[in-house]
Amino acid sequence: MAIKALDYDTLNENVKKCQYAVRGELYLRASELQKEGKKIIFTNVGNPHALGQKPLTFPRQVVALCQAPFLLDDPNVGMLFPADAIARAKHYLSLTSGGLGAYSDSRGLPGVRKEVAEFIQRRDGYPSDPELIFLTDGASKGVMQILNCVIRGDGDGILVPVPQYPLYSATISLLGGTLVPYYLDESENWGLDVNNLRQSVAQARSQGITVRAMVIINPGNPTGQCLSEANLREILKYCYNEKLVLLGDEVYQQNIYQDERPFISSKKVLMDMGSPFSNGVQLVSFHTVSKGYWGECGQRGGYFEMTNLPPRVVEEIYKVASIALSPNVSAQIFMGLMVSPPKPGDISYDQFARESKGILESLRRRARIMTDGFNSCKNVVCNFTEGAMYSFPQIRLPPGAIQAAKQAGKVPDVFYCLKLLEATGISTVPGSGFGQKEGVFHLRTTILPAEEEMPEIMDSFKKFNDEFMSQVIR
Ligand SMILES: Cc1ncc(COP(=O)(O)O)c(CN[C@@H]2CONC2=O)c1O
């Protein structure tokens, strides 16, 4: 039989190699069970609106008017939309070249890039150049664009934290690069030890790998830790000495649930360090409208800011961005609204402040409920979720469970998560999908289920877990 042009065997090997556990075996099994009528709580994806979180009103009002500009001509528009939403809609439409249906510049609308630069300037207290800010279809696409520029082949290594968000491992595989792991220390609340970095790099170099870049995820996914200023300084110095590009994934910068380590951007720490670091370290920072108290995952809005990249490199990144023509224009407006929200005194400010504060305070309470819930379970220990949207408990599986998993042909934490799913409908992601130390097992869940449902979910988890642990010990 003639080989088809596109068959599994003739697929690009890098496509076959890459894995993305957040929507892997557990998610597929959960979807099957849902089709069979079982109630599933999808806590595998940081997807707030899918778990009942309401969108913020003001951004939706502005984008609705931008999507349907004929409403602006309706004499009753002021009955349905506040004056500041109407004004912002007109402002954004004036930035486009023909409304939301027209392509924008491949780097995004200049007017929105300017708003992002002003946001960064206000946040950090240092200048930010709109020419060095590209808007993207979610932070994911920005990360892929930058890794695509860095990775020349399998001889190029990218330092990635373990546990890590598998966008990085999957993209590095897809691009034919080499992931160089550096392990976060769970006993130090997922702290990052620069000595571990040095060991990982030395080992990679001994295997002929050229380490080119380092990824930090701050706050961490799945681990939820917030990096301290001292930690960030150490990392930036390391990147300077080793000539590594630092990819600063800061998509959870609004999601902070403790006061000891507030979010501080890599850009600010770098600028505070002064020369030779502030003009020597190459940094690309990423942000999104998918997280924070926005949770607008489906809109696909993001940006990255480049610091200390040579102009010719920026031009090449622009050239490649042009291949995809234009980032999603309505998402660019969401991004503009996120970095420049209603201010005190604006008509919509009180409602916006009330809604966003309410979401963040609830997330902070849910982070505590979930952490305490896991720590009340047999053979489960869990660091507090300092930031981001996830809980990543360590599940101390007894030998009997490991043996049972082996007999079922499953990785131990996949085996455990499948049993959990079948028994409770709670859909999680096994820790093996994020990477973990040999012989240590975790699962990742989100802190997103509705607050009023959280106690029941944790009770259901505890009932399953404690029975599971009692059974397998026998
Ligand atoms: C650390 C990190 N970076 C980037 C992204 C991508 O965001 P965009 O939506 O802007 O592309 C995510 C999404 N988090 C995934 C999605 O839900 N659960 C997760 O772990 C993320 O967790």
Atom of ligand 1 at shortest range from CA of 44: 18
CA of 140 to the centre of ligand 1 (A): 7
User: Distance, CA 290 to ligand 1 centroid (Å)?
Assistant: 7
Q: Check if 140 has its Cβ closer than 6 Å to any atom of ligand 1.
A: yes
For residue 473, pLDDT over 70 is answered with no
Tell whether the model's pLDDT for residue 39 goes beyond 60. yes
302 lines ligand 1 (CB under 6 A): yes
Q: Which residues contact 460 (CB under 8 A, 6 or more apart)?
A: 424, 426
Per-residue pLDDT reduced to its tens digit, 267-280: 999 999 999 999 99
Q: Calculate how far, in angstroms, residue 284's C-alpha sits from the geometric centre of ligand 1.
A: 16
Pocket flag, ligand 1, residue 137 (CB < 6 Å): no
Whether 293 contacts 266, CB under 8 Å: no
Q: 135: Cβ below 6 Å to ligand 1?
A: no
| Least confident among 5-19, 99-113, 217-231, 305-319 | 5-19
Q: Which two tokens stand for residue 425?
A: 């409908």
- E-assigned strand segments in 324-388: 380-381
Mean pLDDT within 46-68: 96
- State whether the beta carbon of 167 lies less than 6 angstroms from ligand 1: yes
Q: How would you classify residue 142: left for phi > 0, otherwise alpha for psi between -120 and 50, otherwise beta?
A: alpha
Q: Is the separation of the CB atoms in 276 and 412 below 8 Å?
A: no
% the chain with pLDDT above 90? 91
pLDDT of residue 42: 86
Q: Please choose from 47, 162, 167, 249 the residue to mutate so as to test ligand 1's pocket, defined by most ligand atoms within 8 A of CB.
A: 167
**pLDDT (0 to 100) of residue 455:** 94
pTM confidence score: 0.96
pLDDT digits (tens, 9 = 90+) for 373-404: 999 999 999 999 999 999 999 999 999 999 99
- Which atom belonging to ligand 1 lies closest to the Cα atom of 446? 18
CA 90 to the chain's CA centroid:
31
Distance between Cα 287 and ligand 1 center (Å): 10
Binned at pLDDT 50, 70 and 90, residue 6 comes out as: confident
| Per-residue pLDDT tens over the stretch 279-290 | 999 999 999 999
CA 292 / ligand 1 centre spacing (Å): 11
- Which segments within 330-442 are labelled E, that is strand? 380-381, 390-391, 394-395, 426-427, 429-430
Those residues with Cβ within 8 angstroms of residue 88's Cβ, 6 or more apart along the chain or in another chain? 62, 337
Mean pLDDT of 27-35: 93
Separation between Cα atoms, residue 278 and residue 319, nearest integer Å: 27
DSSP conformational letter for 11: S
297 lines ligand 1 (CB under 6 A): yes
Atom nearest to 220 CA in ligand 1: 1
171/165 Cα distance (integer angstroms): 11
pLDDT digits (tens, 9 = 90+) for 120-157: 999 999 999 999 999 999 999 999 999 999 999 999 99
Residue in 288, 338, 434, 442 to alter for ligand 1 test, most ligand atoms within 8 A of Cβ? 288
> Is the minimum distance from the CB of 290 to ligand 1 under 6 angstroms?
yes
* For range 351-360, the mean pLDDT: 98
User: Which protein residue's CA is at the shortest distance from atom 14 of ligand 1?
Assistant: 46
Tell me the longest C-alpha to C-alpha distance in the chain.
Answer: 74
Ligand 1 binding pocket includes 285 (Cβ within 6 Å): no
Q: Can you name the residues that pair with 213 across neighbouring β-strands?
A: 158, 245
pLDDT in tens, 223-263: 999 999 999 999 999 999 999 999 999 999 999 999 999 99
| Alpha-helical segments (H) within 151-193 | 167-174
Q: Whose CA is nearest to atom 22 of ligand 1?
A: 221
Indicate the DSSP class of residue 106. T
Q: What pLDDT sits at residue 380?
A: 97
> How many Å from the N-terminal Cα to the C-terminal Cα in the chain?
54
- Which among 290, 294, 303, 444 is the best mutation to test ligand 1's pocket, defined by most ligand atoms within 8 Å of the CB? 290
Q: How far apart are CA 284 and CA 304, in angstroms?
A: 6
Q: What's phi and psi for 226, nearest 5 deg?
A: -110, 125
**Distance from the alpha carbon of residue 249 to the mean position of ligand 1, in angstroms:** 9
Task: Give the whole-angstrom CA distance, residue 91 versus residue 95.
Answer: 7
Percent of the chain with pLDDT over 70: 99
178 ligand 1 Cβ < 6 A: no
CB 44 within 8 A of CB 23: yes
CB atoms within 10 A of CB 400: 13
**Amino acid symbol at 43:** T
pLDDT, the chain, mean: 95
Q: Mutate which of 217, 221, 428 to test ligand 1's pocket (most atoms within 8 Å of Cβ)? A: 221
Q: Is 104 in the pocket of ligand 1 (CB under 6 A)?
A: no
Which residues are CB-neighbours of 199 under 8 A, at least 6 positions away?
none
Q: Is the minimum distance from the CB of 47 to ligand 1 under 6 angstroms?
A: yes
Mean pLDDT confidence for 55-75: 98
Count of alpha carbons within 13 Å of 471, Cβ hemisphere only? 12
Task: Establish whether residue 158 lines the binding site of ligand 1, counting it when its CB lies within 6 angstroms of any ligand atom.
Answer: no
Phi, psi angles (nearest 5°) of residue 188: -110, 40
Nearest CA among 416, 420, 394, 395 for reference residue 405: 416
pLDDT grade for 20, boundaries at 50, 70 and 90: confident
CB of 139 closer than 6 angstroms to any ligand 1 atom: yes
Residue in 431, 412, 422 with CA at minimum distance from that of residue 374: 431
Atom of ligand 1 nearest to the CA of 301: 10
Tens digit of pLDDT for each residue in 172-203? Answer: 999 999 999 999 999 999 988 888 899 999 99
